[in-house]
């Protein structure tokens, strides 16, 4: 474990997972509000629902009885982020990743050479886990996933997806089920008390 990890060091320690090593995250430079923690949270959503508050840069996993597990997130740049509700219809460990056609068109030098995709691994932009959001049987192309850039948590950085620190996305992945409802709120409506 690295020095300078602060009080949340055990949550963000190095983890061996599926033959890959997730490095420890030095959280000393990350806003403490972005670190995983159980919070008081008032909502009408039932336990097991994932609520994403894009303005606050938080994802809440509703636990019921006025509590939720809160995670800091990085979200899509203005105009790229998903809003509304969806269902987690697929979950993947160390997922394969391919840039979307829109990403390749927007930034060809950065993404076009990856058109055939990238195998799961520590350099993969999706990180160690991905949860795929669907509306009915239609893949929204939005994901909840990890990141190779933990310092971006709390900012608008991705191509629309919802990213968490790798240790946090593993924790969330282990808590949610296929079929879980995801509600993405644009503009903020914090119910935290």
Active-site residue flag, 145: yes
Contact 173, 131 (CB under 8 A): yes
- What is the signed CA dihedral for 156, 161, 165, 170, rounded to 10 degrees? 160
DSSP string, 102-155: HHHHHSHHHHGGGTT-B-SSTTSTTTTEEEEEEETTEEEEEEEE--S-GGGTTS
Catalytic: 161?
A: yes
Q: Which of 58, 96, 113, 145 is catalytic?
A: 145
How would DSSP label each residue in 9-54? Answer: TTTTS-EEETTEEEPP--GGGS-GGGS-EEEEB--SSPTT-EEEET
Tell whether the torsion through CA atoms of 19, 152, 145 and 167 is positive or negative.
Answer: positive
Q: What would the two tokens of residue 109 be? A: 């030098």
Q: What is the Cα–Cα distance from 41 to 45, expressed in whole angstroms? A: 10
Which residues participate in catalysis according to the annotation?
Answer: 145, 161
């Amino acid at each position: 474990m690295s020095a300078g990890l602060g009080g949340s060091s055990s949550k963000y320690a190095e983890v061996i997972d599926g033959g890959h090593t997730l490095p420890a995250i030095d959280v000393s430079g990350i806003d403490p509000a972005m670190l995983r923690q159980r919070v008081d949270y008032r909502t009408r959503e039932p336990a097991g629902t994932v609520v994403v508050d894009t303005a606050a840069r938080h994802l809440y996993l509703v636990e019921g009885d006025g509590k939720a597990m809160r995670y800091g997130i990085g979200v899509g740049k203005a105009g790229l982020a998903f809003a509304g509700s969806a269902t987690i219809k697929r979950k993947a460990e160390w997922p394969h990743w391919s840039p979307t056609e829109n990403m390749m068109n927007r930034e060809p030098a950065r993404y076009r050479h990856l058109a055939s995709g990238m195998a799961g691994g520590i350099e993969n932009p999706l990180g160690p886990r991905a949860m795929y959001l669907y509306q009915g049987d239609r893949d929204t192309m939005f994901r909840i996933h990890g990141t190779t850039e933990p310092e971006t948590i709390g900012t608008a950085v991705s191509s629309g997806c919802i990213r968490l620190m790798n240790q946090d996305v593993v924790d969330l992945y282990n808590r949610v089920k296929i079929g879980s409802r995801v509600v993405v709120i644009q503009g903020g409506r914090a119910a935290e008390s």
